[in-house]
Structure 1
Amino acid sequence: MEANNNKMEAPLRKKVCNMCNTTTTYKNWSRHLRTIKHQKNDPDSTIEPRFHEKTKEKIRNRVSKPRKERTQKPHRVFSGFQSSLFERKKPNIKIEDNTHKKSAFNRKVLLFVVNKREFKDINQFLNYSRGIAEKKILGYLKEIGNLKINISVVCRYIKRKPSHENFTTHFTTENKCFYTTTNFNEFYSNIKTTVQKRKDVFIAKGSSWIFKSVLSMEINMYKNNSLRGGSYIELPKWISLKKAIDIPKFEGETNISINAFTHDNGNIVPLQLCKVERETYIDLFYLSEENKEYYCLIKNFSSFCYNVTRPNSIRNNIVTYSGKNAVRVFYEKLKKEALYIAKNYFDINKPMVITKEQEAEFERTNTCFICERSFNESPPTYEREERDMNINKTKVRDHDHLTGKYRGAAHSICNLKYKVPRFIPVFFHNLSGYDAHLFIKEFGINTGDIKVISNSEENYITFSKVLRYEKLDPVTNKTVFEKIELRFLDSFKFLSSSLDKLASTLEKEQCKHLSRFIENKEQSDLVKRKLAYSYEYMDSPKKYNETSLPPMEKFFSSLTGKHITFDSYENAQKIWASFKIKNLREFTILYNTLDVLLLSDIMENYREVSLGDFKLDPAHYFTTPGFAWGAMLKKTSIKLELITDIDMHLLFEQGIRGGLSQCSTRHSKANNKYITGKCEQPGKYLLDLDANNLYGWAMCKYLPYKELK
């Protein structure tokens, strides 16, 4: 009996886990390997369970024989920790068997799907799939060149009792460029971090879904043609072994971002791209000639690469149309463009990228870069809201949602208000007149609200068309509706002069849009002025087929009562010959195209000057007076006191003068005793005063802004 007791009290064999610094029995060893603590410490599953040789043989036989998959019933207590033996790497299972692919556009778009048995942990699944991803990405890189890649991890969630409803969601990363110099380990590590963050954000929203398992991973790869090609080339040994290593080191020591490019069969290929865009950056071009290698400085990157405004490397072509239902076609084209902008720009929200230097700058600064006030003060707009004072003063990091770049330290409320507006401005020159009525009638036929600000029933200051579109919420994976506004503005209310006079003020370097459309220098010199057009002569569609310009007398305008000058007519003839125009239809299309390009350059130059001087964008205003009012408030930082007394308001209105005015003259005769010598009559003297710039003088005087009585 005593021997039996000693046998029962004999200590059990222990096993030590070096990863977790934990001691457990051999019996509980497999259970320990399935715990969350161990899976976090050993994400690559380097420690295998200890089995008896007979058990190992059973497992080998089970793997080698194809059997129908069985759904494993979860343990009542350890359902969240349980993992199957088949979720570990097995040397006799090929990686290729777990993937399938789809391609499109001559293999310029490729999708790989990694299908595995369900994993209970995302990191464990990503670690297992790393080799598959590396093989596919590097292989495709050699096949077609530089890539853009995003990875989506498909997970399954289950609802709490009693419904037990299943729900599948995707945690997708943003598109990342992958070049020959990209470090795959660092690239994949960032992917893992992003996926985990997306999962944490989903859980933090407080839904009742419980993470169940990982189903698969989708690797989406696209050919990256952002620099006219981007073919794959093997780097020279001296670059791969020396220079490409020196550049990151130099960036870290000097706080300068460096991009290096080369060429391959006429295509521009990036050799080294900076990971963090700093305030100072340098673009270099690598050349090799007769066993000599050297770098050249790229002074103008826009000239170095042609202008691309679409992700698919296609320029935004000018759309022209002549025929029936022109307004309807115009609206449909504009709507299509607006929805493209909304989905590709307005709905982008990239995570913030901030360097150590920027983080240190954020800690040091005491001024909001948006409202330029101290963090001890509230923003100007919210000074009255005492209850939100502490919230308004909170210091936060502001970043651009389109690029992810850190912009500066800001008040919390300034950060929330400083966002991309949900409208697209559309400028017409002299829109407020009759032209606006054409669009209002057509917009009324289509669905969506119309907003109008008008002076009268005939004259509109601005009008807007509201468009609705569907988009997929990346978190809930459900369809939601968003709105975007097409805002039609009159450029004449900002620059009240003819298009011809406004175009004559532009310098050569300011005609950016015109220069991109017309690259020939001879033609460019001819079109830097408004083209003459015979409005009243073009009264029939048949005249569009005429093969020559109308006579000079046909360009008479009854509206102005003037003929065009000989110089303008001669310029029109030169343009006809230089552009090889065949008929008046082509001449009309060119006339409209040049008007649009000139107006684009005029308004962009006006916006550039306004942003430089006042840091205000005229495209956010309706007229010049409104823009001037905003500039005054920004420059003076005045807090205006609102007028609440109706009598005081009427007093100000009565002081407003405008329209026709006249100066009444009176006859007066002087009696200057020093000149006439007539002393018996009272003396009378005349004083002549002339005041210049009365309007400017009045504008320089102080105006009341508070304590009005």
Structure 2
Amino acid sequence: MVPITVEFKFIDTLNFVGTSLDKAVKNLAEVNNCYCSSCKKVQAMKEGNFLPMNSAGVLIYQAKCKICDTILKKSIKYKKFKNIMREFKADELHLVLQKGIYPYEWVDCYKKFSQQLPENKDDWYSTLNDSNISNNALGFAKKVYKHFGCKNFGEYHDLYLKLDAILTKDIFDNFRKTCYNIYTLDPVYFISAPQLSDMASLKLTRQNLELLTDQETYEIYEKGIRGGNSVIPHRHALANNCYFYDEKSMKTVKLSKEDAVKKGIWNSKKHLSYILYLDANNLYGWALSKPLPVGEFFNYNNEKNNVTEPKPSDFTKETILNLEDNGDYGYTFIVDLEIPSELHKKFQDYPMLPEHYIPKEADLSDYQKKLIADEIGNKPKNGKLISTLYPKKDYI
């Protein structure tokens, strides 16, 4: 007899689908936005629900325009949810094509499973989100409870978990299908999305990557990997102007100086100032789109006798500044440098050249020292990627 070995591999779908199940389902159902005839452009939707499937087999998602509250309707391609369609009837799809609603904090003991679905909004309050359930969401939970004939909350709980599992399977199955159609790669054979992306890039570009075999060269590149910055040079700021964000209309309006003074956002004795929000997206993607080293690595310290040109002494200031960003060969320098004191003011808000650094007591403000003494109890022991104006030694 031939022995048969069965191997089970458990994969966390969160490693591939980096968003909440609720958002992932909406993305797959394509109900995040819709054309609004009032705004005359595509707008985001809010407070949406699926309508029961009509006699023609069309499933409609109805919601409000996030800007003008116009009622929007959009037909849904529900056949993407094959597992949902296999487990539920057609007249139930409008109740199961979205993540269920659950009173997490209300369920604090086993006895709650024998009780009925809580109808008090306070029982659905979420401390984590600091918000309560909406009337629309509570009404939907009651509708699901009644339609599926739940005798108690325990049966609703089981339905909630079943729906979570099936929706997750549909999301991941569609993700697998997309990856296979584009890259002919199956995500189940990878640990995470970064590993899958790396393999897909190598496959599509047919680029061979030379392995680093020299330990010193490897350590140089390892030291050059810095990660994300962990410093806030300017900790607190207040804008001083007459513009005010109205949460009801979700628009920024300009107030009169008198109204701005009443709201405490304007002081005529202070300089006019604003706070600008900047967010750089996909920095890793941007960096990966630039020319990167792929091979022919050469460490001068180990091969100095075999070097003809260029030698380290040949790299003058002018030579370095004239190196082409898209040249066939790149260079990694290990340098000692310092930022001249006359440039400190220019770079104080966001110093360049971050490094892994363990802050000393002299680097800390009085507030930070008090925070350590009152709440943390000990000084920082691990280095963080911090931007400072200090001189740098052996900087990659």
* Larger Rg, first or second structure (1 or 2): 1
| TM-score between the two structures when normalised by the length of structure 1 | 0.28
Relative contact order higher in (CA < 8 Å, ≥ 6 apart): 2
Return the TM-score normalized by structure 2.
Answer: 0.49
Larger proportion of strand: 1
